[in-house]
Structure 1
Amino acid sequence: MAKSKFKLNKSGVGDLLKSGEMQHLLENKATDIRNRCGVGYEQDVYVGKTRANAMVKATSNKAKRDNAKNNTLLKAVR
């Protein structure tokens, strides 16, 4: 059996992780999570040093209390 060599293109992977398509995918996932949480939660997608990131956070006081008591964000991630 012949051995195959595989060399990962690190700059290509980095470009993929920061790409507009990845940002769009993360935006859709963050929207789904935010919708499961309810009112008082916001989302954001940003490009960091090595990859695109998505964030959903509680912004209103009611949502912050709800998340602290019920782990709403964690449950919404599934």
Structure 2
Amino acid sequence: MAKSGFKLNYSGVSELMKSAAMQEVLTGHATDIKNRCGEGYEQDVYVGKTRANAMVSANTYQAKRDNMKNNTILKAVR
């Protein structure tokens, strides 16, 4: 069996995972999830050490209670 000539460019992958285009994709997904959750939820996108990250969290008391009782954020991820 012949060896594959594929070699992963780690610096290129790292750059892609932190890029503005990736942040736009994550923002779109986080917005969809936040909208499915309802009122009182917020979203955030930030660049970490190795990649861009998106987060949806409960912001108000009612949203926090709703999320604890119904697991709203997890269900909105689908």
TM-score tier (shorter): over 0.9
**Cross-structure match for 1:71:** 71
**Cross-structure match for 1:29:** 29
How many angstroms apart in 2 are the aligned matches of 1:65 and 1:44? 20
How many angstroms apart in 1 are the aligned matches of 2:47 and 2:3? 38
Give ranges in structure 2 of 5+ residues lacking alignment. none
Give ranges in structure 1 of 5+ residues lacking alignment. none
Kindly, what percent of the aligned residue pairs are identical?
73
**Cross-structure match for 1:11:** 11
Residue deviations 1:5-43, cap 9 Å, x none? Answer: 211000000000000000000000000000000000000
Aligned residue identity for 1:59:
N
RMSD of Structure 2 on Structure 1 (CA): 0.9
How many angstroms apart in 2 are the aligned matches of 1:5 and 1:57? 44
**Cross-structure match for 1:52:** 52
